[in-house]
Amino acid sequence: MMNSKVSALINEQINEELYSAYLYLDMSNYFEQRGLSGFANWYKIQAQEERDHAMLFYQYLQNNGEKVELLAIAKPDKVFAKDMDVLQAALEHEEYVTSLINNIYAQAYEVKDFRTMQFLDWFIKEQGEEEANAHELITKMELFGNDPKSLYMLNQELSTRTYSAPSLTL
């Protein structure tokens, strides 16, 4: 049986991942309204990834005989004045999610829940990639965002991103 604190943290993480999906849909909507459909696509795919992450945590709890309690998903409360605000908010959010996953890992380590630690290894690697992607997008926007032609090309680049489901076996 899973430690009750670890189980509760994973249950909360489901909600956090679903909120992340909601937040990224809001970011996608911001860019769609700005006419930057490539950026909108990039964040829409981010939303899909976060939803899948929530389902991985959901399935993990179920596979371990734990009750899943679905919590209310908060409305995104960020107001974006400029494009860079969105990118920086995304990076901050990914850093926050990393801290949550690290906290679950630390709790699992404390109670010697090696199965959960192994499960979380994938998410730790994934968060490293998420933060790197957010940093890269900020760097590109800093380099090219003020030039309309370069912004157009960056938008085109982001429009080519496609979705692929995570390959984590539970």
Amino acid 105: pLDDT: 98
Predicted pLDDT of residue 166: 78
Q: Which domains does the chain have, with CATH numbers?
A: 4-159 (1.20.1260.10)
Cα 144 to Cα 167: distance, rounded to the nearest angstrom = 33
Would you state the pLDDT for residue 46? 97
Mean pLDDT of the chain: 95
Mean pLDDT of 65-92: 95
First to last CA, the chain: 16
- pLDDT over threshold 70, residue 59: yes
Average pLDDT on 106-116 reads 98
- Give the per-residue pLDDT at 65: 96
135 pLDDT band, cuts 50/70/90, is very high
Is a pLDDT exceeding 70 seen at residue 24? yes
The DSSP symbol for 65 reads: T
Q: Give me the pLDDT at residue 74, please.
A: 94
| C-alpha distance from residue 46 to each of 4, 8, 118, 149 (Å) | 30, 25, 24, 25
Is the pLDDT at 79 greater than 70, yes or no? yes
Q: For residue 165, what pLDDT is reported?
A: 79
How far apart are alpha carbons 50 and 21 in whole angstroms? 5
Burial tier of 127 (Cβ tally within 10 Å: 0-12, 13-18, 19+) = buried
Lowest-pLDDT range, 132-136, 150-154, 165-169?
Answer: 165-169
Q: Rg of the Cα trace of the chain?
A: 17
How far apart CA 58 and CA 16 sit, in angstroms, is: 12
pLDDT of residue 170: 62
Amino acid at 28: S
